[in-house]
A and B are shown apart, each in its own frame.
Chain A
Amino acid sequence: MRAVRWLIAIVVIASVCWLFPLFHVMSLKTATAEKVAATFNATQFAEMFWTNQLPTALEKTVTAKTLLPAFQSDAAAAKKKFSRSVGLSEGYFYFLRGEGKILSVSDDEVSLAVTEGSTNAEVSLQTGLIFGNALRDGTGLLSANDYPNSQDFNDISAALNHIVETRTLPKLREQAKVGAKISFVGCAEVGDEATDLKPLKVIPFQTKTE
């Protein structure tokens, strides 16, 4: 009697599991591959941005020759006309290009004179370790609104900084000689107008010496 009861129970449970399966078996490889595909890859994204999106955005830049005199005469007006900022931030970004003569070269910056006949360092290209969001936020191409998880958006910043550090900067450090002429495209973050405008601290995307 007892054995029969057990048998019935097992048959019932087995048929329920047959009708409503508890799980499906998948190979570990496909499952892992699916998971990797589903997670956001900031390095890959930054790479795409670098090769596809960024080159087309260069016309949106303001030239240093226009920008420098503009903020020297009226910082507020220049900020209004040429800069962009994100959120409720008081700081802002310039996305600019220009040419200049190299005045000095140090471990973490290359100082340039941009306006005709100037001997002051007006722009300083940053060549040390790159931190912050100037590259991500300065171009206006990327918006936090597109990223459900802001950790992903922050990872893009780090990935872009890494690309600049590994590709743009080594070349720049090698080619930068005092007295040489150099052209650049980059982003500048202005947090404190008292210190960040003179010279304007630019993180370069591209540089070219002649």
Chain B
Amino acid sequence: MNAKELLKKLQPLIALVVMVVAMSLLSDKFLTFANQRNILLQISVNLCLSIGMTLIILTGGIDLSVGAMLGLAGAVAAGLLKNGLALKVFGVVLQFTPFGAIVAGILIGLALGFFNGIAITRFKLPPFVATLGMLSIARGLTMLWTGGFPVTDLGSQFGFIGAGFFLGVPMAVWISAALVAIFYFISKRTTLGRYIYAVGGSEKATAFSGINVNRVKIWVYALGGALAAVAGLIVTARLDAADPKAGLGYELDSIAAVVIGGTSLSGGRGSILGTVLGCLIIGVLNNGLFLLDVSPFWQQVVKGFVILAAVAADKLGSRKE
């Protein structure tokens, strides 16, 4: 690997270091333990979404439905936990345990993601269109399931995964860190991981070499859905409420994190670790703009420019090669 390539890989890291140094010079609150913990807690949801999004973008696809799937999974889990599932035919109610609600939420995410994958591979829909459809379907189902009202008062057992602490660090941070480790391993050390990069690099070549491209894609979208569901469970547990509007617009934050982390939107190039850096950069930026007392209106403008700058850097960098 030559110096040029190395520098390119380290680009998100350099940006993060620059921001951290700048922020710690500008605010004495920035480097405190409580503040650092907050940053990690606040990016945990976006991190879960972005891990899945990275895999999807690596295959050359995109998933616009992650925010809506997050909302539905959270709402379903909360509803099953709070009200149970009434089976009128048998005259019984299945009262879900917190564990059962979590499993159900993740299965919902997995199923929705699977549906995305089927729509894209079997029905040959462009990922943009297929997941745009799912965005609307999942949001509508969330509204139907909740009647438009938040489901609240879910109890401390369920709340633990979002609001609890383990060794002084929030559970949500542990969960997202574990997912990063697992999916880093999957992407770098397993056959599925190699296939994902291969599909994104050149779909035709991959198919020629006898790999079932469709199967890889279905897996990736299903995993993306399951990860969105985990994010939904964390959001729900943190707030002790499943808001039917939860996750509105989160797909954009997630895509931003992936792109800032150096993953190419055309697929095949990028990594989970880059996405972690991307999430951290967005987290530090949000936190820093707040600590510096920047008006909420300016915050949005600044964030937009940072995203543009990151993508511009990526584009300029690859043109030279």
Residue numbers of A with Cβ under 8 A of B are 20-29, 31, 35
Contact = CB atoms under 8 A, between A and B. Distances in A.
Contacts of A20: 97, 99
Contacts of B94: 23-26
Given A23-B97, A25-B92, A26-B92, 4 more contacts: A23-B94, A25-B93, A28-B93, A31-B93
A22 B100 contact: yes
Contacts of A31: 84, 86, 93, 95
Interface in B95-110: 95-97, 99-100, 103-104
B88 A23 contact: no
B97 A22 contact: yes
Nearest to B90: A28
21 contacts: A20-B97, A21-B100, A22-B99, A22-B103, A23-B84, A23-B85, A23-B94, A23-B100, A25-B92, A25-B95, A26-B84, A26-B93, A26-B94, A26-B95, A27-B92, A28-B86, A28-B92, A28-B93, A31-B84, A31-B95, A35-B83
A24 B91 contact: no
Interface of B: 80, 83-88, 91-97, 99-100, 103-104
Question: Would you call the interface of chain A mostly helix, strand, loop, or mixed?
Answer: mixed
Contacts of B87: 28
B95 A22 contact: no
Contacts of A29: 91
A22 B97 CA distance: 5
A27 B95 CA distance: 10
A27 B92 CA distance: 4
B91 A23 contact: no
B96 A22 contact: yes
Contact of A21 (B84, B88, B97): B97
Contacts of A24: 94-95, 97
Contacts of B88: 28
Nearest to B88: A28
B95 to A, nearest CB: 5
Contacts of B85: 23
Contacts of B99: 20-22
A85 B35 CA distance: 45
Nearest to B87: A28
